[in-house]
Amino acid sequence: MAVSFVFAAVFGYLADRLRLPPLVGYLVAGILMGPFTPGFIADGALAGQLAEMGVILLMFGVGLHFSASELLAVRGVAVPGAIAQIVLATLLGVGLSALWGWGIGAGLVLGLSLSVASTVVLLKALEERNLVNSANGRVAVGWLIVEDLAMVLALVLLPALAEILGAHATGTAGQAAAGMPLALTIAITLLKVGAFAVMAIFLGPKVVPWLLTLVARTGSTELFTLSVLAIALGIAFGATEIFGVSFALGAFFAGVVMSESNLSHRAAADSLPLQNAFSVLFFISVGMLFDPSILVREPMAVMAALALIIFGKSLIAFCIVLLLRFPVGMGLTVAASLAQIGEFSFILAGLGVSLGLLPREGQDIILAGAILSITINPLVFFAAEIGEKAFHRKWPAFFASYGAKRQGALARELGDIRAISDERNRQHQLKMQQLIDTFPLFAQVDEHAQEELLLLFKPKSASPGERIIRIGDRGDGMYFIASGAVEVQLDDEPVRLEPGAFFGEMALLSGGRRTADVVAIDFCDFLILDRRDFNVFMSRHPALRTAVSNMARERAEMNTLRRNPDQTSGAA
C-alpha cells in the first residue's frame, strides 16, 4: 500500500502535467508494480481485495447522490438501451472470436466482457465534466447500472452453460449450477436480485436512516463514520452472500437507501476520503494485471478488441439512443461513457478462463483493451464534445428538435425529483438556521454539533395556564422556547421568558431540585434536551457549558437581587 500510494501520487502528478487524467498515471504505476515488468512486484492478491474496496466505496458514493426515483425516471432509455447494446456488442465479440478460430463459448465470454463498461471510470469522467447531475449523466449511470445487473445474471449462467458451450464447468459453483435445470437457475437468480431490490428500495429507507439517526445522537464523529462504512460494506457483503448480487451493486443500493436520510450529506463527506484513496488502488490493481508483451505478441487482436470497445459499442449505443427518440447530445454522451471496459470485464474473463471457455491469451487481450480504452476514454469524451458542436453547426434545426420532447419530459421528471431532494435539504438547512437565529448560543458549536442537537431535541407543546415545571421536581431536562411565552413564578414577582430563552438549566448544572414553578402564558412550543443528553453534549462542548453556566449564574444572581433588593443598596 505504501509503494502504491507513492507511485500513484508521482505518476498521477506527471500525468496531470502532461494534461492527461491522473488515472492514466495510476494505471502506469500499476503496470510498473506488476509481475510483468522488472523491479518491485506488489502483492497481486491483496491489491485485488483493496481494489474491490475501492469499487464498493465509489459505488456507495454514487448511490448517495442517486435516488430510487431517478433510477425509475431513466428506465425508459436505460433498460432497453443497455440490453440491446449488450446483445449486439456480444454478437460482435462472437464474430471477432470466430475470425480468430475460437469456439462459441470463448466468443460469448469475449463479447460479454467487451460489452460492459466500468462504472468507476464513467463516474470519474462525469465528475471531471460536472455531468453527474445532468440528465445525460443520469441516463449514462442508469444505463451502466442495468449493465451491471445483466452481468450478475451472466456470472450465474456461465457455469451452468459451460458444458453446452464446449467446456466442462469446474469448481463448486460451476458444479452446483450445472446440476440444476437452466430455467430454474435463471428463475432463482432473477428472484434473488428482485428480492434484494425490493428490500433495498422499500425496507431500507425505513431502517437505515433510523440507524444513522440513532448513531448521530451519540455525538461521536468516529462512531458515525464507522457506522456509515459498516452499513455500506455490510449491505454489500449481505447482497453478495444472500442474494448473489455483486459487491459493487450491493454498495450502490446501500448508498441509494442512505440518500433518503437527512444525514446523507454528512455520510458522503465522511466517506469521500476513503473513496478517493481506494479508487486509486482499483486503477493500480488493473495496471498490475496487464502484460505489456501482449501488444507485441497479438497487436492486431488487441487493436480489433479496442476498436470494438471504442467504435463498435459507441456506435451501437448512439444509434439506440436515437432510435428511442432521444437527442443527439444524449446519444454522444452515452456513447463516450461506454467506450471503455472495467471491473466486470476482468471478473468475466477470469471466470471464462477457469471454466475452460476462454484461452489465456483472450484474458490478456481483454485486459489490454481495458487499459487502453480507459486511457483513451478522456479523448473519446473530448471527441464527443467536438462532434456535438459540429452536429449543431451543420444541422441546427434537426439538432434542436430531434428528441427534444422526450428529453424535455425526462429533464422535467428529473428536475422534479431534484427539486424534492433540494427542498428537503433546504428545509433541513432552514431548521439549522432557525435554531441559530432563535438560540444564538448554539452558534458556538459547529454544523455537525448543531445537527446532533436537532436529533437530541424532543419537541413538546403546552397550552396557556399549563404548568411546565413544578417547584421541587428533579431536573429532567433543559427547555428551549421556540414559540410562545412562559412565566417563572418567583416569590416577589414572576419573570417572563419569550422565544429564544431557555430554562431548567440550573437544576441540571447543580444536580439539585427545581426552585420555581414555570407556567405557560401562551400556546408554547419547546425543544427539550433531557438530562442525560444535556450532560453528554455539554461535556463534549466545554465552551458551550461555560456559557450556559455563566448565564445560569447571572440569572441566579438577578433572582437573588430581585428577592432581596436591600442587598443592592448595601452593596452600593
Which element (helix H / strand E) includes 23? Answer: helix 22-33
Q: What is the mean pLDDT of residues 503-507?
A: 85
CA angle (202 as vertex; 196, 206 as ends), nearest 5? 115
For residue 518, the SS3 value is: strand
Mean confidence (pLDDT) of the chain: 83
Q: What is the mean pLDDT of residues 348-362?
A: 86
Would you state the pLDDT for residue 80?
93
Q: Is the pLDDT of residue 174 over 80?
A: no
Q: What is the mean pLDDT of residues 163-179?
A: 54
Q: Is the pLDDT of residue 305 over 70?
A: yes
CA–CA separation, 32 and 39 (whole Å): 8
Would you state the pLDDT for residue 566?
54
Beta strands in 463-515 (DSSP E): 467-469, 477-483, 486-489, 495-497, 502-503
Would you state the pLDDT for residue 175?
46
CA distances from 500 to 5, 477, 488 (A): 51, 16, 15
Q: Is the pLDDT of residue 176 over 60?
A: no
Residue of higher predicted confidence among 168 and 56: 56
Q: Percent of the chain scored above 70 by pLDDT? A: 94
- Domain spanning 444-563 has what CATH number? 2.60.120.10
CA–CA separation, 228 and 4 (whole Å): 26
The secondary structure of residue 246, as a DSSP letter, is -
Q: What is the mean pLDDT of residues 291-320?
A: 92
Q: Is the pLDDT of residue 172 over 50?
A: no
Would you state the pLDDT for residue 524?
92
CA–CA separation, 487 and 524 (whole Å): 11
**Given pLDDT bands bounded at 50, 70 and 90, which one contains residue 81?**
very high
CA–CA separation, 301 and 305 (whole Å): 6
CA–CA separation, 135 and 304 (whole Å): 32
Question: At 277, which amino acid appears?
Answer: A
CA–CA separation, 445 and 540 (whole Å): 10
Would you state the pLDDT for residue 380?
92
CA–CA separation, 141 and 265 (whole Å): 20
Q: What is the mean pLDDT of residues 343-347?
A: 80
For residue 304, the SS3 value is: helix
Q: What is the mean pLDDT of residues 266-291?
A: 82
Q: What is the mean pLDDT of residues 109-131?
A: 86
Ordered by start, the domain boundaries in the chain are 42-169+180-397, 403-438, 444-563
Would you state the pLDDT for residue 561?
67
Q: What is the pLDDT of residues 26-58, one digit of tens each?
A: 888 998 998 888 888 888 788 878 877 877 887
Q: Please, are residues 243 and 193 in contact by the beta-carbon 8 Å criterion? A: yes
**Given pLDDT bands bounded at 50, 70 and 90, which one contains residue 171?**
very low
Would you state the pLDDT for residue 552?
77
Q: What is the pLDDT of residues 306-330, one digit of tens each?
A: 999 999 999 999 999 999 989 888 9
CA–CA separation, 347 and 564 (whole Å): 83
Would you state the pLDDT for residue 564?
62
> Model pTM greater than 0.75?
no
User: Do the two domains 42-169+180-397 and 444-563 of this chain adopt the same fold?
Assistant: no
Would you state the pLDDT for residue 111?
93
* Burial category of 392 from C-beta neighbours within 10 Å (exposed 0-12, middle 13-18, buried 19 and up): middle
**Does 42-169+180-397 carry CATH code 1.10.3720.10?**
no
Which element (helix H / strand E) includes 397? Answer: helix 396-401
**Given pLDDT bands bounded at 50, 70 and 90, which one contains residue 91?**
very high
Torsion of CA 189, 194, 199, 202, to 10 degrees: 180
Q: What is the pLDDT of residues 399-432, one digit of tens each?
A: 778 888 888 888 888 888 888 877 777 777 778 8
Torsion of CA 100, 304, 309, 381, to 10 degrees: 180
211: nearest Cα among 191, 189, 236, 229: 229
